Amino acid sequence: MTDDRALVFARIREALQTPRPLHGHYDGLPGPAPAENGKGYAAWLPRVEDTPSGRLLAFRERSELLKTELVVATRAGLAGTVQALQQRHGWKSAAWHRTRLTETAAGAAGLPLLSTDQAYETAALERVDASFTGCDALVAQTGSVLLTTRSAGGRALSILPPHHVVFAEASQLIADLPAAMRLLRERYGNDLPSMICLETGPSRTGDIERILVLGAHGPKKLTVVLVE
């Protein structure tokens, strides 16, 4: 089935023949968008102090509002932290993909594990209690986890199980959204992973009487383990 692109492109070209007039009560047409790699936008977005402690403070504050559980661990204490989390949340099984940090976590948990590094069954992934993934970065400004198919073990691992546990190095905590876009460009260039997501807190809905309910379709819980 050939599509209508020739027709639609022609309609667009014809429509744009008429220049847009100045209108209404505005001073004029908006100028060109700031194109300096998005750095211009940072000046208008919420302020974040771009130091390690400033970023951590902002991320902690956002996490509390979003109801994300933030756990700061040392590298040596990571195994113990994971065991404590497992007890608190009562995980009986988990799924994971291999990164330096998730490897330690998966070893410490001592649970039946499903890996998405190889082919896996969707139905089996749906039954696990938690998923352990890495990420590309944590965004202090918004409390988001920046993840991609490559940094978080594909598409389903971080969204299907009811509890998503993200492991990140302290050095992965970046200031704001423009920095996140820069990071993507620098890391992946023109070879973007097919899915990139800014995961901002556990899944939520307010569709019934605008009352917040966590765990609409995605994970009911989101834990970020920050390793210093």
Partner 1 sequence: MPALASVFQRDSAAYRRRGETRAFIRRALRGYEQKRDENKARFQDWQAARDAAAAIKHEAIEHLDRCLPEFIEKIEARGVKVFVAANGVRAKDYIIGVIRRHGAKSIVKSKSMTGEEIHLAQALEGEGFEVVESDLGEFIVQLRHEAPFHIVFPAMHLKRDEISRLFEEKLGSAPTDSPEELTMIARRAIRQKYCEADIGISGVNFAVAETGAIAMCTNEGNGRLTTSLPRVHIALMGIEKLVPRMDDLALLLPMLATAGSGQHLTCYNTILSGPRQPGEPDGPEEFHLVIMDNARTTLLADAQQRDALQCIRCGACLNVCPVYKNVGGHAYGTTYPGPIGSVITPHLRGLQSWKHLSGASSLCGACTDACPVKIDLHHHLLHNRRNAVRQHKTWWELLLFQGFGWVAADARRFALAGWIGRLAQPLHALVAGTPLDPLKPWTRFRALPEPPPYAFRDWWKERRGAEGGAHD
Which residues fall within 8 angstroms of residue 91, CB to CB, at 6 or more apart? 85, 109, 111, 129, 130, 163
Q: Interface with partner 1 by CB under 8 A: which range of 14-22, 69-77, 81-89, 166-174?
A: 14-22
> Considering only residues 61-120, where is the footprint of partner 1 by CB under 8 A?
62, 97, 116-120
Write down the least CB distance from residue 188 to partner 1, Å. Answer: 10
Q: In the complex with partner 1, which residue's Cβ is closer, 79 or 98?
A: 98
Among 28, 35, 90, 186, binds partner 1 (CB under 8 A): 35
Spatial CA neighbour of 96 closest among 77, 78, 112: 112
Q: Interface with partner 1 by CB under 8 A: which range of 11-19, 74-82, 105-113, 167-175?
A: 11-19
Write down the least CB distance from residue 54 to partner 1, Å. Answer: 15
213 binds partner 1 (CB under 8 A): yes
Spatial CA neighbour of 197 closest among 151, 128, 163: 151
Q: Interface with partner 1 by CB under 8 A: which range of 70-78, 87-95, 104-112, 144-152?
A: 144-152
Among 113, 156, 170, 183, binds partner 1 (CB under 8 A): 156
Sheet holding 130-133, edge to edge: 69-73, 221-227, 163-169, 130-133, 94-96, 113-115
Spatial CA neighbour of 163 closest among 75, 113, 89, 72: 89
